[in-house]
A and B are shown apart, each in its own frame.
Chain A
């Protein structure tokens, strides 16, 4: 075991895993995090705590992770290189290890221009792939980036993101290969709406044998309304929402039900894709739907390993 995390144990034992996103509040209320923890703890194996998602300032990811851990929920610490240089990243990794956090997701981060402090200076001292490599080196070699020794263990299950829907498509699998080579133990993908494209990407992933070297969790975003579908299609870069999905939401008499249905159909298809080891549900501001989706997808109760 690299980290001993629940997520690692489940994935290594071949269980189809379920993670979800629990965004911290734009404020100081621990209850917001705890409420999401309560909603999601029985239906998920680990919860991602986002790191100033979409470049909007929120409670720190590490604090959110600690709040979840205190209530017995396993967190995934999301960290972006947008806001921290190599010193801060390593220091937070050490702190997270000391606080018992065992999963980390290494990300570039949405550009600061999108957020609520668009005039901020972006850091980008190292990139997400270099970050993965750095954490792996901290864990396996007990070395800082500069080669100095670290005292104590740094037991992390290292995650990375993959977006099969961004361009250039042919390069996406190369980028994944680089992340795996850098040390990504698990991958959480961008939300999957365009299933044919995702399946094509997964074939390229298998052709390179990457599914044997990392655990890929397919991302899912439950859609609440046609407005949300259109917004994601038009405004969220790197997200591909096919016309068929938008039309289904537009025609639905009960859009929320249709959204759940689309999500469940996707899960059924994803279960059949070789190399998919789980799902990652990003139900932003709709966390209370996650348990129903997991239940109706036949993924309850969550296994204990």
Chain B
């Protein structure tokens, strides 16, 4: 899923400083699952902002809404009435959701309440970590199901570098060396010889370096 974290409250307060009527819109997709931008977080943020603005002596009217998904126009459009009443919309969706909102409501100020951080998994309650860089050309078949593009700090395809120590990456003792994990796994699978071949240079154009990406499925278009 897409992982996001809420922006610091001070930054959000600064963003909405000049507005009196705010609509906070959550998303029940990924950001709800990672407890950042779902209905519960919308409600908590609403209370925090009301209290903060009251302390400043500048009351604020905050309306709340949560949509099934903010990355699809049909769902976003459902918020139309509430959007009309607001000076600005504070979206707690990922960056895609924020932009879909801005696209559907061209004359409305739309603000991001979250920082979209990565594509990842839930390791345990309260812990998420990155797994995919969305590079557009999956190589997991060649790397034992562990991605060096997303998980090696240097995106090495012929790792590990000389900074791998005790299974950890040179940048931090809290970061696993994914190449150690790849080697461990291939050793268990008795396939370590796969790494003896030189992995060729990567084509980064599907990774976004070929310009903004788009997918069109003619068979699904109406």
Q: In the complex, are the beta carbons of B158 and A175 less than 8 A apart?
A: yes
| Chain B residues near A133 (CB-CB < 8 A) | 198
Q: In the complex, are the beta carbons of A130 and B164 less than 8 A apart?
A: no
Partner of A166, one of B160, B196, B201, B204: B160
Contact with A along B172-197 (1 / 0, CB 8 A): 00000100100110000000100110
Nearest B residue to A130, CB-CB: B201
Question: For the complex, is A237 an interface residue (Cβ under 8 Å from B)?
Answer: yes
Question: For the complex, is A129 an interface residue (Cβ under 8 Å from B)?
Answer: yes
Q: In the complex, are the beta carbons of A174 and B204 less than 8 A apart?
A: no
| Chain B residues near A35 (CB-CB < 8 A) | none
Q: In the complex, are the beta carbons of A130 and B158 less than 8 A apart?
A: yes
At the interface, is chain B mostly helix, strand, loop or mixed?
loop
How extensive is the interface on chain B, given as a class? 20 to 34
Question: For the complex, is A108 an interface residue (Cβ under 8 Å from B)?
Answer: yes
Total interface residues on A, using CB and 8 Å? Answer: 35
| Chain B residues near A109 (CB-CB < 8 A) | 154
Nearest A residue to B177, CB-CB: A167
Q: In the complex, are the beta carbons of B156 and A161 less than 8 A apart?
A: no
Q: In the complex, are the beta carbons of B160 and A171 less than 8 A apart?
A: yes
Assuming the contacts A111-B170, A126-B201, A174-B195, asked whether A238 and B154 have C-beta atoms less than 8 A apart, the reply is no
Mark the stretch among A95-103, A176-184, A279-287 that contacts chain B. Answer: A176-184
| Chain B residues near A167 (CB-CB < 8 A) | 160, 164-167, 177, 180
A113-155: which have CB < 8 Å to B? 113-114, 122, 124-130, 133-134, 145
| Chain A residues near B162 (CB-CB < 8 A) | 108, 161-163, 166, 190, 237-238
Q: How far is the CB of B38 from chain A (nearest CB, A)?
A: 31
Q: In the complex, are the beta carbons of A86 and B201 less than 8 A apart?
A: yes
Contact with A along B139-165 (1 / 0, CB 8 A): 000000000000001111111111111
Partner of A125, one of B180, B192, B195, B204: B204
Tell me the complex Cα distance, A182–B153, Å: 22
Q: In the complex, are the beta carbons of B171 and A166 less than 8 A apart?
A: no
Question: For the complex, is A27 an interface residue (Cβ under 8 Å from B)?
Answer: no
Q: In the complex, are the beta carbons of A237 and B159 less than 8 A apart?
A: no
Question: A residues engaging B (CB < 8 A)?
Answer: 82, 86, 108-111, 113-114, 122, 124-130, 133-134, 145, 161-163, 166-168, 171, 174-175, 177-178, 181-182, 190, 237-238
Question: 6 A–B contact pairs at CB < 8 A?
Answer: A124-B156, A130-B199, A162-B162, A168-B164, A182-B198, A238-B162
